[in-house]
Structures are given as C-alpha cells and as structure tokens.
C-alpha cells in the first residue's frame, strides 16, 4: 500500500511538473554555443526583438515581430557588408566587394554599378560605368600594364587610325 501511495505521489508530481513546463520559456532567453542570446520567448511571440548571430558572433538577422531582417546587414566571409534590407528594397545603398576587398558594385535603388569602377586581377581600373555609357573615359590595359586604347564614347583611337589607314 505504501508503494502504491508513493507511486501515485510521484506520478502526480511529475504531471504537475509537466503542466508547469508549458510556460517554462516565458521571458527566458536561449543561448547558442558561445553564450550569445539567440531567442527570447515572451509568451506571445518567438524571437521578438532578438538578434541572430553567425559563426563569428556577427548579427545577421533581427526579427521585430513584423519583418524579418529589418534593418539588418549581411556579411561575407571577410566581415564586409554585402547586403542591407530596409523592409522595402534589398541591397539599397550597399556596396559589394570582390575577393580582395575592393568595391566592385554599388546599388542606389535606381541603377546598378552607377559610378563604380571595376578592377582587373592586378588592382588596375579597367572600367567605369557612369549610368549612360559603359567604359566611358576608361583605359584598358594589357598584361604588361601598357595602355592599349582609351574609350571616350567614340571609337577607340587605335581602331580609328586603323580604319583611316
């Protein structure tokens, strides 16, 4: 009889504990492996006001209860900002980088690559895009750093001389 009473007591206490665990995370914070807060449960919403982290402890997402990634920046492998989401446009006002941390593109919400310079493998400028024309006023180089021709919105000088001759 004592065993049965003890068993019933244990069963009843475990049931009460399980029912109490329904709200165990209310107001709690959950942590990732590096002790950073990755989630907060306020009893109504999950991740409300939280920040999510990548493997290098950088913030990659914020959830405000309405939008995901609102006002966030996304990073590449070298900790450079490659994207910003403002709730309306992706990459608005952002710069994109190549593997050597040089700016290769800017998106202003209207045009891609407006006012940007493009680089070759040896960090020389090979192109500028000003909106109306591509390569306007640029010099192109060969592999020995010699100027081969210049484009100014017309035929290259070398081609024009060749056509005249």
What is the DSSP secondary structure assignment for residue 18, as one 8-state letter? H
**Calpha distance 43→103 (Å, rounded):** 44
Per-residue confidence (pLDDT) for residue 161, from 0 to 100: 46
Q: Taking CA 24 as the corner, what is the angle to CA 18 and CA 27, rounded to the nearest 5 degrees?
A: 165
State the CB neighbour count (10 A cutoff) for residue 72. 19
Per-residue confidence (pLDDT) for residue 4, from 0 to 100: 72
Q: Give every residue of the chain whose pLDDT is below 50, as ranges.
A: 17-27, 32-33, 42-50, 52-57, 63-72, 74-79, 85-102, 107-116, 118-123, 129-149, 151-165
Pair type for strands 94-97 and 103-107:
antiparallel
To the question of pTM greater than 0.85 for the whole model, the response is no
**Calpha distance 124→145 (Å, rounded):** 9
Q: 62 is written with which tokens?
A: 């914020």
Per-residue confidence (pLDDT) for residue 14, from 0 to 100: 56
Per-residue confidence (pLDDT) for residue 146, from 0 to 100: 47
Q: Where are the domains of the chain?
A: 23-65
């Amino acid at each position: 009889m004592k065993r049965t009473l003890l068993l019933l007591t244990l069963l009843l206490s475990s049931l009460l504990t399980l029912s109490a665990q329904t709200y165990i995370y209310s107001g709690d914070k959950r942590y990732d492996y590096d002790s950073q807060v990755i989630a907060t449960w306020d009893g109504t919403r999950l991740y409300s006001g939280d920040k999510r982290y990548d493997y290098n402890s950088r913030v990659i997402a914020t959830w405000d209860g309405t939008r995901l990634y609102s006002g966030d920046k996304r990073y590449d492998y070298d900790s450079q900002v490659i994207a910003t989401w403002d709730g309306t446009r992706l990459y608005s006002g952002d710069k994109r980088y190549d593997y050597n941390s040089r700016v290769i593109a800017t998106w202003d919400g209207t045009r891609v690559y407006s006012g940007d310079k493009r680089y070759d493998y040896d960090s020389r400028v090979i192109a500028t895009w000003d909106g109306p024309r591509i390569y306007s006023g640029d010099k192109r180089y060969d592999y020995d750093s010699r100027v081969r021709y210049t484009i100014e919105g017309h035929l290259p000088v070398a081609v024009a001389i060749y056509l005249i001759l």
